[in-house]
Structure 1
Amino acid sequence: MSGGRGTIRIAAASAHFGRDLEFDLARVAKLIADARGAGAALLVLPDAALGGYLADLRHPDPEALPPALDPDGPQVKRVCALAAEMVVCVGYCEAAGGLRYNSAVCVSGDGVLGRHRKVHLPAGEVAAYASGDRFDAFDTPAGRVGMLIDYDKTFPESARSLALDGAEIIACLSAWPASITNRAPRMAQDRQSRLFDLYDCARAAENQVVLASSNQTGAMGGMRFLGQAKVVGPGGDILARTWSRAGLAVAELDVAAEIATARRVLHHLAERRPAGYRMVPS
C-alpha cells in the first residue's frame, strides 16, 4: 500500500446520461468543474456516462445500443483534458476487435491511468457486450485505484482481487436500476436499492479499503436508476452520500491512515487462510 499523500477529497457522482455524446461530455465537464470546486482529487463518474446505458436490460434492442467508442478516441481524450490535475473515472461502451465491452477508464491530464472491462454480465447484457477477464489495480496521484462496474460488485472476489493487488480505493461505476421484476411503491423499499447500498458497504469493510460508488439517475427505457452515490470508509461506514438525488458525494480523508487504522487489530487480507478455501473450477 502506498502512502504519504495525506488528506484528499474523493467525489462520487449521481447523474443522468443518454445517447447524445455532446450532452454527456458537457455534463461530464460540469461535474468535473463542481468536483474541482469542492477540492476533489478523485472523481468517480457513473457507468455508461459517455453514451448512456441499455434501454432494456432483459431484451436489448441491437439497433438501439450505446455508441461504441474507440478507447483512445476523441471522447476519452476530451475527458483527459477536462480532468487536468484531477483523477477521473468514467464509464463508456468500448469498441475493440469487432466486440463491444461495458468499460471504464481512469484518466488525468497526463492520459489514461487504468482501464477495466466489466467481467460479470447479467443475463440481458450478454446480448450486448463481451465480458472482460481480469481485475487490476493501478497507481494514480490520488492513490492506488481499482475499478468495478455494476454487477461486478455483487461478487466478493472482484473487490478482493483488487485489494490483493494493492488497491486503496475501489471505484464502483454503476448504471444500477431499481428492481425491474418486483417494483416497490417507494424507492426505500426497493430490493435493488437495499442491495446497492449493502454491496458498497460490505465490499469496503471486508477488504478494509475506501470505496467510491457512482450511479446514474433518471430513466432509460423502462428502467429507473437509483442514484445513491456514496463514499464509504474502510470500516464500512458511509462518509458522504447523495441519496437518490443527482449531485456529488464528497468526503475528505487520509486514505492510507484510515486503512492503517482499520487494519491495526484485525487485518483481513493478512489473516486470510487460502489453504482452507474451496476453489471451485470455473
Structure 2
Amino acid sequence: MTLAVIQMTSQADIQANLANARRLLEQAASAGARLAVLPENFAAMGRTDLPAVGRAEAQGQGPILPWLKRAARDLRLWIVAGTLPLPPDDQPQAKVRACSLLVDDQGQRVARYDKLHLFDAEVSDARGRYRESDDYAAGDRLVVADTPVGRLGMTVCYDLRFAELYSALRLAGAELISAPSAFTCITGQAHWEMLIRTRAIETQCYMLAAAQGGEHPGGRLTHGHSSIVDYWGRVLSERATGEAALTADRDATEQAATRQRMPVSNHRRFAAPHIVTGTLE
C-alpha cells in the first residue's frame, strides 16, 4: 500500500499552482500511490483575497474543486487536498475555515476536516505576526475516514502542537494521519521533525506530513521537509525544500503487530480527550 506526500512552493497564481500540483500527483500515481496528501494552501499562497476565493468555490464558481475531482478521477488516486478556504457546508455566508478535503479515486468527497487550532503567534521572522483567526474560523470536530490504505485521521499544520487531538484520532481508530502544513522556517527548524516523529510514536500511526517549502509572495519562507514517518517514528521519505512527490509503503501487518506487542492505547490512565468549544479562560 503506497502512500504519497506532495511538497510545493505555492505562489499567488491559482492556475499555475494547480498545474504544478497535477504534475506532482501524476508522479505519485506513477509510483503506485493509492493516497496522496497535498500541502496546506496548495492552490494559493500570499493572496489577500483567500476568503473570496473560498466563497466562489463554495458557490461552484471557482476552478479548484472541479480540478480536484478531475485529478482524482484521471489518476485513480485518493487525495487529501491540503487546505482550502471554505465556509461550512450548511452556512455558505459564514466565515471561511481552513478546510482539508478527502476525495476518493472517483472524485467523490469522502470527508471534510476543518482545522481546529488556528495559528495566532509571533515568530522571529520577516513577517513577525501571524493571525489566522483574522481570516478563518476554527473547526469543531474530529474526522477519521476509511481509505484503501487504512483508516485516516485528518489534521492540519499547527494542530501538530496539540497531542490530545492525535490521541483522540488514535482512539477513533486512525492508522495513518495526514498533516498538510506550511510551517515557518523558524518554527520548522526548531520543532517540525520532532513533532512529526513524536505524533507517529505516541499514536503508532503513519504520519503523512505534506509541507510548503521555499519562498512565497511577500517574502514568506516556509520550512519544507515534507516526510512520511512510520508508526515507530522512522522517517521513510523526506525532502528538504523545493517541489517533490515522496512515496513510501505502509506495512499494515507489522504496524498491527507492533501495536499488539506494545498496546499503548490500552494503557492510557487519562480520560479520552474531547473538544472544548468557546474560549478557554
TM-score interval, smaller chain: 0.7 to 0.9
Q: How high is the TM-score relative to the length of structure 2?
A: 0.83
Partner deviation per Cα, 1:247-274 (whole Å, 9 max, x = no partner): 12211132x2132122122111111112
Pair 196,81 (structure 1): closer, same or farther in 2 beyond 3 Å: same
* Count, aligned residues: 255
**Using the alignment, how far apart are the partners of 1:246 and 1:276 within structure 2?**
38
1:82 to 44, 50, 71: 71
For residue 101 of structure 1, what is the aligned residue in structure 2?
A: 97
Q: Deviations over 1:178-235 (max 9, x none)?
A: 12xxxxxxxxxxx532311111000010000111100012222232111111100101
Taking only the aligned residue pairs, the percentage that are identical comes to 27
Provide structure 1 residue ranges, at least 5 long, that are not aligned to the other structure: 1-7, 56-61, 180-190
Q: Which amino acid aligns with 1:242?
A: R
Gaps of 5+ in 2: 121-130
Structure 1 pair 269–193 and aligned structure 2 pair: CA distance change class (3 A): same
Alpha-carbon separation, structure 2, partners of 1:265 and 1:64: 47
Identify the match of residue 53 of structure 2 among 67, 84, 105. Answer: 67
* 1:45 and 2:38 matched: yes
Q: For the residues of structure 2 that align with 1:170 and 1:109, how far apart are their CA atoms?
A: 19
Partner of 1:271: 267
| Distance verdict in 2 for CA 1:130–1:42, change over 3 Å | same
Structure ranking higher in helix proportion: 2
TM-score w.r.t. the length of structure 1 is: 0.83
For the aligned residues, what is the CA RMSD?
A: 2.4
User: In 2, Cα distance between the equivalents of 1:82 and 1:129?
Assistant: 27
* Alignment pair present for 1:165 and 2:176: no
Shift of 1:246: 2.2
Q: Which runs of 4+ in 1 moved over 4 A?
A: 62-66, 279-282
Q: Which residue of 1 aligns with 2:160?
A: 153
Alpha carbons of structure 1 residues 28 and 76: separation in structure 2 relative to 1, 3 Å: same
Matched AA of 2:239: T
Counterpart CA distance in 2 for 1:174 and 1:37 is 24
Q: Secondary structure at the match of 2:103?
A: strand
Partners of 1:269 and 1:31 lie apart in 2 by 36
1:32 and 2:25 matched: yes
Spell out, residue by residue over 1:80-111, the C-alpha distance to the aligned partner (whole angstroms, 9 max, x if none): 22112211111211134331111111112330
Q: Distance in 2 between matches of 1:37 and 1:89?
A: 17
Contact 1:217 1:245 in 2 (8 A): yes
The corresponding residue for 2:219 is 222
Quote the offset at 1:280 in angstroms.
9.7
In the alignment, structure 1 residue 122 sits paired with structure 2 residue 122: no
Aligned CA distance change for structure 1 residues 276 and 44 (closer, same or farther; 3 Å): closer
SS of structure 2 residue aligned to 1:145 = strand
CA distance in 2, matches of 1:80, 1:197: 31
Distance 1:99 1:276 in 2: 30
> For residues 276 and 137 of structure 2, what CA distance do their matches in structure 1 show?
23
Give distance in 1, aligned partners of 2:42 and 2:266: 36
